Amino acid sequence: MSDQASFRAQTLIEALPYIQRFSGQTVVIKYGGAAMKDEALKTSFALNVILLREVGIYPVVVHGGGPQIGRLLERLNISCEFVEGMRVTSPEVMDVVQMVLVGQVNTSIVGLINQHGGKAVGINGHSGLLTQAEKMQVTRQASEDQPPEIIDVGLVGKVVKVNPQVLHALEHGRFIPIIAPVGVGPDGESLNINADLVASAMAAGLRASKLVLLTDTPGVLDDKGELITELTRAKARELMQKGVIKGGMIPKVNCCLEALEAGVESAHIIDGRVPNALLLEIFTDKGVGTILEG
């Protein structure tokens, strides 16, 4: 037998304890827009998700699309501002957000998985009222001697309630759900929700065993720019206060902490630019990012 064949067999055996441990459990995966740049990596992601499903794990994918939304807004000459990391969303911007997330990003992930033999179905917050939301109130502390100012960020939402019925129905049919982070407001309106928030709400609502956030950095970095492999709650809060964790990393870390509070066993922020990042994180001891444990 060739060395290569024997190495492959060994690799499969090494994955066995992890497969046994996680088979039958739900893993919620957030695929960040920033990690979706490269075609080969997108294919690697699709194959990883299919493999998880084939070994009896239930992957639920929530995707972002920040850079993709930014590009279309630019092409359409629609300017838009960011406040506290949140995109100020006018009705005109919301149309673009929905077009990009549901029409473009969601459909392309579903297509890629199906093209490689998986059974993916694209849904969003409106589907079976999956992601019920309300407008988010954003406050900004301009100076210490003044009360915080309330800023209207438009059609930006936060999750109020998740209705996992549609996910259970898909699981029953062995479909892989791919969720776009568009929520449905009290009057049936679409709200733009940060995908990290949607992922953590799904993880809590489904009692997932893991929440895995794939992004475009090695994980959470410290003040020297070095990877923190294990992050405690206390350290996470300290780094946010000091401003070491900032921008798009803030909702990610907060969502991990909330998911852990809700009973999810572990939350991972990993480097989506590494081929097979998902499999490496779930099926080996050497993760590829930062783990937060409950």
Residues within the interface to ligand ATP (CB under 6 A): 32-35, 64-66, 195, 215-217, 220-221, 244-249
* Residue 118 main-chain phi, psi, to 5 deg: -90, 175
Nearer to ligand ATP, 14 or 238 (CB): 238
**Which partner in ligand ATP, Mg ion, none is near 51 (CB below 5 to 8 A by kind)?**
none
State in angstroms the smallest separation of the CB of 187 from ligand ATP: 26
CA-based nearest residue to 23, from 221, 249, 209:
209
Q: Pseudo-torsion of CA 194, 195, 197, 199, nearest 10°? A: 180
Rg (CA), the chain: 19
Nearest residue by C-beta to ligand ATP?
Answer: 64
- Residues in 173-202 at the binding interface with Mg ion, rule: CB under 5 A: none
Nearer to ligand ATP, 65 or 205 (CB): 65
In the chain the first and final C-alpha atoms are separated, in Å, by: 44
Residue 167's contacts (CB-CB under 8 Å, 6 or more residues apart) are 60, 130, 177, 202, 206
State in angstroms the smallest separation of the CB of 208 from Mg ion: 19
Nearer to ligand ATP, 119 or 233 (CB): 233
State in angstroms the smallest separation of the CB of 249 from ligand ATP: 4
Q: For Mg ion, how many residues bind (rule: CB under 5 A)?
A: 1
**Which partner in Mg ion, ligand ATP, none is near 215 (CB below 5 to 8 A by kind)?**
ligand ATP
State in angstroms the smallest separation of the CB of 156 from ligand ATP: 13
Interface stretch with Mg ion, choices 106-114, 132-140, 198-206, 242-250 (CB under 5 A): 242-250
Nearer to ligand ATP, 35 or 191 (CB): 35
DSSP secondary structure letter of residue 87: E
267, containing H or E segment: strand 266-271
Q: Pseudo-torsion of CA 68, 129, 109, 253, nearest 10°? A: 60
**Which partner in Mg ion, ligand ATP, none is near 34 (CB below 5 to 8 A by kind)?**
ligand ATP
Write down the H helix ranges in the chain. 3-22, 39-54, 66-75, 91-98, 107-115, 165-172, 195-205, 233-241, 249-261, 277-283
- Figure out which of the listed residues 65, 248, 272, 287 binds Mg ion, where binding follows CB under 5 A: 248
